[in-house]
Amino acid sequence: MAMDLDRMLHKCRRDQWTIADIDLSKPARAMSREDEIAIVQYFTDMAGIEMLASALFVEQKRRATDPRLIEIFESFVRDEVRHAQVAKALARHYDVHAYQAYEPNPHMQKFAPAFVDAIRHLTPEIANVYITTGEILLDVALLRSLDDFVADHACGSAMKLINRDESRHIAVDFHMVEHYSSPEYVAAQKDAPRRSLREAARAYGSLFKMLRHARPFLQAVFFEPMDLVDPTHQRLLEAFKRVQLISTKPNVARRPFVRFMLTMQPMFRHPILGALFGRWLIAIIGTDPRVLVKLYDDEDEARAQRMSFDELAEETLGLKYA
């Protein structure tokens, strides 16, 4: 069943809010020096991540042709800018002792422009793979665990509103995955003008530059924070499991970029190939080896095959409240 874009657009218009809706009047809860420094840095980095997300939705809006999708993505840009403002406010709120000055992580500063440049030059379906993965990781794992770790009124009230926005974003992300893997889209692409060699070289050059910075960025702003706020890694692995399950959908698995990634992962898991080429495969895929293992079983895969993309999105969003 296809997404009801009119209904989604209504939600985007209805569910807007402002930073004034968050109650920052109560003192931040007491933390150790180490935890305070870590939490303020995480919110500082979160502001950068949210601004990066806003740039990605600008690109989504540029490529959209349906007027409803254009307005939906425009509202997502506003959402992400607001989330960045909230993250900065929370960083100030928890910076009780001013132990140090805080700047966005340097790995993020290198990755962000490379990522935005790559998204602008890569095909829409490749861009959407990265956008969807990032949103799932942020919403299902990092923000949820950060909220539980901080565990006070200010963070809780902020995350409740941010989560409401991110639920809309993920629902549309899944819708776009379905669109870009649909037979109709694939057929239309066959008739589209082919890229020039120069354009193709520009696109792949931007991809390789992005991948060079991807792993240190992910390590610094996702995996290391998750080591503190989700030491069991349960939520992190659950988020990546959902990403892997999307890739098992036949139409998605047949797309060239996803097929390439699906080829790389079994090579990494292979006892001989992994031992010989694991380091290079990790660099190519651009992520942490902990999430390259197969995270689902045959029963999970069979369920995913039976479910629509909307149902997969709903199940993914349900993890936030599990």
The CATH number of the domain where 209 resides is what? Answer: 1.10.620
Q: Is residue 64 part of a domain?
A: yes
Q: Is residue 247 part of a domain?
A: yes
Q: Is residue 25 part of a domain?
A: no
* HSE-CB for 7 with a 13 A CA cutoff: 5
Rounded CA separation 245/153 (Å): 35
Q: Is residue 304 part of a domain?
A: yes
The tokens for 153 are 């009124």
Q: Is residue 189 part of a domain?
A: no
The tokens for 168 are 């809309």
Work out how many domains the chain is built from and give that number. 1
Q: Is residue 72 part of a domain?
A: yes
Q: Is residue 190 part of a domain?
A: no
Domain range for 92: 5-19+30-184+195-321
What is the chain's pLDDT, residue by residue, as a tens digit (322 residues)?
578 999 999 999 999 999 999 999 999 999 999 999 999 999 999 999 999 999 989 999 999 999 999 999 999 999 999 999 999 999 999 999 999 999 999 999 999 999 899 888 888 888 788 889 888 988 889 999 999 999 999 999 999 999 999 999 999 999 999 999 999 988 888 877 888 888 888 888 888 888 888 888 988 988 899 999 999 888 988 998 999 999 999 999 888 778 877 777 777 777 777 676 667 667 766 677 777 788 899 999 999 999 999 999 999 998 877 7
> Would the CA dihedral through 32, 36, 42, 46 be positive or negative?
positive
Q: Which of 211, 202, 22 is closest to 121 using CA atoms?
A: 202
pTM of the shown model:
0.89
DSSP 249: S
CB 12 within 8 A of CB 71: yes
